[in-house]
Structure 1
Amino acid sequence: MSVVQRDIPFARKLSAFLPLSAQELQCLRQLQSEPVAIRRGAQLIDEGQTGHKAFVLHSGWACSYKDLPNGNRQIISFPVAGDCLGLRSMLLRTADHSVLALTNAVVSGVDGASLLENVMRYPRLGAAFFWAASRDESMVVEHLVNLGRRSAVERTAHLFMELVERLSLVGLAKGGEFKCPLSQFVLADALGLTAIHVNRVLRQLREQMLLTVRNGTVTIHDLDGLRRLAGYKGGYLNSQF
């Protein structure tokens, strides 16, 4: 791992919820340890691990997941730049899920004691962290509805609608287009489908001129149409205080 320069997605995300002062932004910079570059496949958190740090993801993609006894994997979420990984598990002492890097990435560790000390010193910053954690919980609720009640095409459309909104917030999506490293096998583990079924659904969405996934890029051709198909409301991603 090598030391790299800091990036701004985390501050940009929190500032979208609540404008941060110069002192609060400086606190964010001091709160984070030196960012390091990690390789694709690096394990950041293991389920059952204790005493670990949380991580801020500056660039790249990760996934949080749980392994099942039969060898299957359920992906819970896809953290992207600007997200904080493992915060709940750090506060609860024991990690209840695992996190790995899906791409080469840049992260910085956040020590639990320093985090608590600084959010007490800067209550508005604490409120912004609370918003980010609540937003993550809301996404898990939507993913539960996806797996339990939405059809395969609806849940796939919903996932891509959520991704484009999240990536737009940190400047990584523009005009309905964004880079996406998620293979059909990875999507299958998130959507509760087989990779073959995911392939069929993506073909259906392409034939309906809703979205195309090609060479690691997602292009949404009809944002309103995809939203209607997914039954997507997006209020749970509301970034306003």
Structure 2
Amino acid sequence: MYSHHSPLTRKLGNFVALNEAELDILDGLHQRRRSFVAGRDLVHQGQLRSAAYILAEGWVCSYKLLRDGTRQIVDFQIPGDFLGLRSVLFRTADHNIEPITPVEASEVLSSELLHAFAETPRLATAVLWAASRDEAMVVEHLVGIGRRNALERTAHLLLELNARLVLVGHATREGFACPLTQYHLADALGLSAVHINRVLRELRESRLLTFHRGQVEILDFDGLVDLAEFDFDYLDQDGPLLR
């Protein structure tokens, strides 16, 4: 059986306390646990009737590939996130999903998800909350690329990742393990890798944050929040990070 203390359960529990029957239904969505290697897309843009997944371990990114071979990373997914949830309703996948690290995920067919929603409306509401939260994050990313400068948008993204990881027990206010490269950050923030390097150096020299050897260390949390003008309300979560 899948753990009642899984990242997904912890995440949905921020919205509603699921009872034992609802947790058992949620367990039933984890019957097909699969492993994926880093760097090989598990969902392709244009793929017909692709399944959704629940990410248990590892990081992935969702991205759109342009004609010239460049890409825009739309978001990063962490443990507890759904992957390809729109595929439950869309006939074709509208983006690619690539594991950044080796990944463990449970494959969920649309029929199984819809059956779970019919059996447990509160679970359906919790998943809708999670999907709405994901949409709110994409809106913030759009604002960042359109209106924030490079320093602000980088700080904002790293604060967002920190808050999301705190929610599922994978981070503290002091920092988190982060497998992203400067190229991942560049593709997500609409910057070059060289520019990202300069921004990270400036954050380090300002004694706000360091990012070294896969570890983000937040040196001045409040200063970083002030720099990014970070408002936690759009994440709609409670927890020690917000205190």
Q: TM-score, normalised by structure 1?
A: 0.95
Q: Is the 8 A contact 2:29 2:106 kept in 1?
A: no
Q: Deviations over 1:56-84 (max 9, x none)?
A: 00010000000001111100000000000
Unmatched tracts of structure 1, length 5 or more: none
Aligned to 1:109: 107
Amino acid at match of 1:103: T
* Runs ≥4 residues deviating over 2 A: none
Amino acid at match of 1:107: A
- Tell me the distance in 1 between the aligned counterparts of 2:137 and 2:87: 17
Unmatched tracts of structure 2, length 5 or more: 239-243
Aligned to 1:194: 192
- Tell me the distance in 2 between the aligned counterparts of 1:131 and 1:220: 28
Aligned to 1:31: 29
Q: Among residues 173, 181, 184, which one is paired with 1:183 in the alignment?
A: 181
Q: Is the 8 A contact 1:6 1:58 kept in 2?
A: no
- Deviation, 1:16, is 1.3
Aligned to 1:75: 73
Amino acid at match of 1:198: I
Residue 205 (str. 1) matches residue 203 (str. 2): yes
Q: Is the 8 A contact 1:211 1:220 kept in 2?
A: yes
Aligned to 2:19: 21
- Tell me the distance in 2 between the aligned counterparts of 1:203 and 1:166: 24
The aligned length equals 236
User: Bigger shift: 26-35 or 136-145?
Assistant: 26-35
- Tell me the distance in 2 between the aligned counterparts of 1:206 and 1:89: 40
Secondary structure in structure 1 of the residue aligned to 2:183? helix
Aligned to 2:241: none
- Tell me the distance in 1 between the aligned counterparts of 2:206 and 2:160: 19
User: Bigger shift: 5-14 or 123-132?
Assistant: 5-14
Q: How does 1:1-241 map to 2 (within 5 A)?
A: 6=2, 8-239=6-237
Amino acid at match of 2:104: V
Q: Is the 8 A contact 1:6 1:35 kept in 2?
A: no
Secondary structure in structure 1 of the residue aligned to 2:196? helix
- Deviation, 1:17, is 1.0
Q: Deviations over 1:25-67 (max 9, x none)?
A: 1101112232122211131110011111100000100000000
Q: Deviations over 1:193-214 (max 9, x none)?
A: 0000000000000000000001
Indicate the RMSD between aligned Cα atoms, in angstroms. Answer: 1.2
- Tell me the distance in 1 between the aligned counterparts of 2:54 and 2:29: 10
Q: Is the 8 A contact 1:41 1:100 kept in 2?
A: yes
Q: Is the 8 A contact 2:49 2:90 kept in 1?
A: no
Q: Deviations over 1:198-235 (max 9, x none)?
A: 00000000000000001100001111110110011021
Q: Is the 8 A contact 2:162 2:173 kept in 1?
A: no
Q: Is the 8 A contact 1:57 1:81 kept in 2?
A: yes
- Tell me the distance in 2 between the aligned counterparts of 1:236 and 1:88: 21
- Deviation, 1:6, is 4.3
- Tell me the distance in 1 between the aligned counterparts of 2:159 and 2:205: 18
Q: Is the 8 A contact 2:35 2:102 kept in 1?
A: yes
Q: Is the 8 A contact 2:37 2:101 kept in 1?
A: yes
- Tell me the distance in 1 between the aligned counterparts of 2:195 and 2:77: 24
